[in-house]
């Protein structure tokens, strides 16, 4: 049994909602709390993480599935946490975009993700 980490679902966690009011989401403290929550989940699950959804999150609204590199997910820290846990699973781009923009966003996201993993 394992777990999929989706970087966009932490906004629904009661623990995070209790720490960050909706009007504080786009603040440095709100963004830090969101990223801290993601890292804590990875650290707690450790070797049980087998799949990761890669996308970004709009700072002010915490809307997910934004193009990689356009939001606030702390990917250097996230990748370090995954490496520390021995993660060897998939990284799957999960981006919502108009059909005529999708190829560009995926190509750019792939380039950015490869750079972050280097």
Q: What's the pLDDT tens digit per position in 22-65? A: 999 999 999 999 999 999 999 999 999 999 999 999 999 999 99
Cα 91 to Cα 25, 27, 55, 94, distances in angstroms: 26, 28, 10, 9
Task: Tell me the whole-structure pTM to 2 decimals.
Answer: 0.89
Separation between Cα atoms, residue 6 and residue 38, nearest integer Å: 9
Separation between Cα atoms, residue 70 and residue 58, nearest integer Å: 7
Q: Assess whether pLDDT exceeds 90 at residue 12.
A: no
Q: In this predicted structure, what is the pLDDT of residue 118?
A: 87
């Amino acid at each position: 049994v394992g777990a999929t980490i989706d970087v966009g679902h932490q906004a629904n966690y009661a623990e995070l909602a209790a720490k960050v009011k909706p009007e504080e989401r786009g603040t440095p403290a709100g963004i830090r709390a969101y990223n801290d929550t993601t890292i804590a989940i990875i650290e707690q699950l450790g070797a049980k993480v087998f799949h990761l959804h890669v996308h970004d999150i709009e700072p002010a609204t915490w809307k997910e599935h934004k193009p990689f590199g356009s939001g606030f997910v702390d990917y250097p820290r996230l990748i370090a946490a995954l490496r520390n846990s021995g993660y060897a699973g998939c990284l799957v781009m999960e981006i919502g975009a108009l059909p005529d923009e999708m190829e560009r966003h995926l190509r750019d996201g792939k380039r950015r993700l490869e750079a972050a993993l280097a």
